């Protein structure tokens, strides 16, 4: 497998959790390198459903080491809760989980500020997960954040936390929000630090040694390309680099160690939160929600749904350098008469073959569609490429060609065996 970066090629929720779980069979180490518990990776093992937020999905397989890299922002209390929840479901954690000592911490004031800023933005809100991700990365960039290693030095941590709480309470007061209790946060965080200490280490050196020992490393991306702070539909984005480059900076593994990039995409498009979405389609949304599909795994929000957008996925292939594609949720389209694919945008008499940087322009773009006949049969039982109806194969080949990468995996349901390798 060598070292593979896996990224979402749309707006997140592409079904990465399942693909990561399947690919992990061939990996020795799985690394999270950005985002925080805004992510929700859903994996089904038999009838058991696991939703992972911070712990890499590799934890569900034995003898795999899972690394939470330096680029991740960690809410330690939440992470302890996730570890406890997994242990209750029979997943043991010991030397198979490693947490970077330089990852930044998320605090309750980040969450509160996230919520207050959304209220202030009113109709221009981003639609965040309210997990405090933006304010936590804001502190990191402003060089005022606290890191995992600070948590392990109780006296100094207490002093720095006190200053942070008093500063943030003053800001929260200006918003008209309640002040936070320093004592409670200190107690909760020190306890979380005590619980996490056995897992904390220098993940950069660990991964460097793993590269020298020719271990196979899978970098599991969270969110998706168009939520990237630099390449996404700014400001309707998350606050980390969700694109392939983020795997290097967020783990300390240099670019020349990376062997390939896999892009995960749905056979249609979804987005949660606000922001432009050219192929959004109410009928398709109602149809998918009616099937019980497309509700967020972190916030439970109904996802906005639309047709496959090949302008967006082609753009994603460009910025990530995608070699291979994993197309998920093909079975979601099984009963449709016609399936549409956006091949260009039109705006003000101009044709766009790439995603315009200005969200005001993107919001006005009208999709140019080509239509494919629906395959009108159940694909969920397919186990090999040749089991798929020929119209489904034509559709999948077309979206791969339009995206500009090799079709390598097709997923027709949540189970591990509902995965077709080409
Ligand atoms: P934040 O990451 O909570 O700040 O949210 C910023 C934007 O990213 C919002 O539109 C969220 O809905 C979206 N977002 C964040 N995490 C995910 C995810 O894991 N899947 C899909 N969308 C996400």
13 is catalytic: yes
| Main-chain dihedrals φ then ψ at residue 110, nearest 5 degrees | -65, -45
In angstroms, what is the span from residue 76 Cα to ligand 1's centroid? 19
**Each residue's pLDDT tens digit, 194-209:** 999 999 999 999 999 9
Residue 86: enclosing H or E segment and its boundaries? helix 76-88
**Each residue's pLDDT tens digit, 145-187:** 999 999 999 999 999 999 999 999 999 999 999 999 999 999 9
Closest residue by CA, ligand 1 atom 11: 128
Local confidence band at 250 (pLDDT 50, 70, 90 cut-offs) = very high
- Contact indicator for 411, 15 with CB cutoff of 8 Å: yes
Local confidence band at 43 (pLDDT 50, 70, 90 cut-offs) = confident
Q: Please report the pLDDT score of residue 298 as a whole number.
A: 76
Q: Please report the pLDDT score of residue 177 as a whole number.
A: 94
Q: Which residues does ligand 1 sit against, CB inside 6 Å?
A: 12-13, 38-40, 126-129, 131, 133-134, 222-223, 227, 236, 238-239, 272-273
Local confidence band at 54 (pLDDT 50, 70, 90 cut-offs) = very high
Q: Please report the pLDDT score of residue 95 as a whole number.
A: 87
In angstroms, what is the span from residue 382 Cα to ligand 1's centroid? 32
Q: Is 131 helix (H, G, I), strand (E, B) or coil?
A: coil
Closest residue by CA, ligand 1 atom 19: 39
Complete DSSP assignment for 368-412: EEEEEE---S--TT--SGGGS-HHHHHHHHHHHHHHTSEEEEEE-
Candidate list 21, 28, 41, 358, residue with the active-site label: 41
- Contact indicator for 161, 189 with CB cutoff of 8 Å: yes
- Contact indicator for 354, 314 with CB cutoff of 8 Å: yes
Specify the ligand 1 atom closest to the Cα of 35.
Answer: 2
In this prediction, residues 45-65 reach a mean pLDDT of 90
**Each residue's pLDDT tens digit, 206-248:** 999 999 999 999 999 999 999 999 999 999 999 999 999 999 9
> What does the CA dihedral 117, 119, 120, 121 come to, rounded to 10 degrees?
90
SS3 for 303-316, per residue? Answer: CEEECEEHHHHHHH
Separation between Cα atoms, residue 148 and residue 197, nearest integer Å: 9
Please determine, for residue 415, whether its predicted confidence score (pLDDT) is greater than 80.
yes
**CA angle, residues 71, 28, 422, in degrees to nearest 5:** 100
> What does the CA dihedral 187, 189, 194, 199 come to, rounded to 10 degrees?
170
**CA angle, residues 250, 44, 68, in degrees to nearest 5:** 15
Separation between Cα atoms, residue 146 and residue 161, nearest integer Å: 8
| Main-chain dihedrals φ then ψ at residue 249, nearest 5 degrees | -65, -30
Q: End-to-end alpha-carbon separation of the chain, Å?
A: 15
Please determine, for residue 118, whether its predicted confidence score (pLDDT) is greater than 80.
yes
Mean pLDDT, the chain, whole residue set:
96
In this prediction, residues 370-380 reach a mean pLDDT of 97
Candidate list 13, 21, 228, 331, residue with the active-site label: 13
| Burial class of residue 343 (count of CB atoms within 10 Å of its CB; 0-12, 13-18, 19+) | middle
Separation between Cα atoms, residue 266 and residue 239, nearest integer Å: 23
In angstroms, what is the span from residue 242 Cα to ligand 1's centroid? 11
Closest residue by CA, ligand 1 atom 2: 238
Residue scoring higher pLDDT (41 or 117): 117
In angstroms, what is the span from residue 35 Cα to ligand 1's centroid? 9
DSSP lists the bridge partners of residue 342 as 309, 369
Separation between Cα atoms, residue 165 and residue 176, nearest integer Å: 16
Specify the ligand 1 atom closest to the Cα of 39.
Answer: 19
In angstroms, what is the span from residue 24 Cα to ligand 1's centroid? 24
| Burial class of residue 289 (count of CB atoms within 10 Å of its CB; 0-12, 13-18, 19+) | middle
How many other C-beta atoms can be found within 10 angstroms of the C-beta atom of residue 2?
14
Which domains, ranges and CATH numbers included, belong to the chain? 4-100+200-262 (3.40.440.10), 104-196 (1.10.300.10), 265-421 (3.90.170.10)
289 is catalytic: no
Please determine, for residue 353, whether its predicted confidence score (pLDDT) is greater than 80.
yes
Please say whether the dihedral angle defined by the alpha carbons of residues 89, 90, 94 and 96, taken in this order, is positive or negative. Answer: negative
Q: Mutate which of 14, 32, 38 to test ligand 1's pocket (most atoms within 8 Å of Cβ)?
A: 38
**Each residue's pLDDT tens digit, 267-321:** 999 999 999 999 999 999 999 999 989 998 777 889 999 999 999 999 999 999 9
């Amino acid at each position: 497998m060598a070292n593979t970066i896996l990224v979402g090629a749309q707006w997140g929720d592409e079904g990465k959790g399942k693909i990561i779980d399947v690919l992990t069979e061939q990996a020795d180490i799985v690394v999270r390198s950005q985002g925080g518990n805004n992510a929700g990776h859903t994996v089904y093992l038999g009838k058991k459903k696991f939703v992972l937020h911070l712990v890499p999905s590799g934890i569900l397989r034995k003898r795999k080491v899972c690394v939470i890299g330096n680029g991740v922002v960690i809410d330690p209390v939440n992470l302890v809760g996730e570890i406890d929840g997994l242990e209750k479901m029979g997943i043991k954690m010991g030397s198979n989980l490693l947490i970077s000592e330089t990852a930044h911490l998320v605090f309750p004031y980040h969450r509160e500020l996230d919520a207050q800023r959304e209220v202030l933005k009113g109709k221009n809100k981003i639609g965040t997960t309210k997990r405090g991700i933006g304010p936590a990365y804001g502190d990191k960039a402003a060089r005022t954040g606290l890191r995992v290693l600070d948590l392990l030095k109780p006296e100094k941590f207490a002093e720095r936390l006190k200053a942070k709480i008093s500063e943030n309470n003053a800001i929260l007061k200006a918003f008209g929000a309640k002040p936070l209790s320093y004592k409670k946060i200190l107690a909760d965080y020190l306890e979380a630090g005590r619980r996490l200490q056995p897992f904390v280490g220098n993940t950069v050196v660990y991964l460097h040694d793993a590269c020298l020992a020719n271990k196979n490393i899978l970098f599991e991306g969270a969110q998706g390309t168009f939520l990237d702070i630099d390449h996404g539909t700014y400001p309707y984005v998350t606050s980390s680099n969700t694109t392939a480059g983020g795997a290097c900076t967020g783990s300390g593994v240099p670019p020349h160690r990376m062997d390939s990039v896999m892009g995960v995409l749905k056979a249609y498009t979804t987005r949660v939160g606000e922001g432009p979405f050219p192929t959004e389609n109410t009928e398709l949304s109602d149809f998918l929600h009616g099937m019980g599909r497309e509700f967020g795994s972190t916030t439970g929000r109904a996802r906005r749904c639309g047709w496959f957008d090949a302008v967006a996925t082609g753009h994603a292939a460009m910025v990530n350098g995608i070699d291979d594609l994993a197309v998920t949720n093909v079975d979601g389209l099984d009963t449709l008469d016609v399936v549409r694919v956006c091949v260009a945008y039109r705006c003000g008499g101009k044709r766009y073959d790439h995603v315009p940087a200005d969200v005001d322009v993107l919001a006005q773009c009208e999709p140019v569609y080509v239509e494919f006949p629906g395959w009108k049969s159940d694909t969920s039982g397919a186990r090999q490429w040749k089991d798929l109806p020929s119209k489904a194969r034509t559709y999948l080949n077309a979206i791969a060609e339009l995206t500009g990468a090799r079709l390598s995996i097709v997923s027709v349901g949540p189970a591990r065996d509902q995965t077709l390798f080409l």
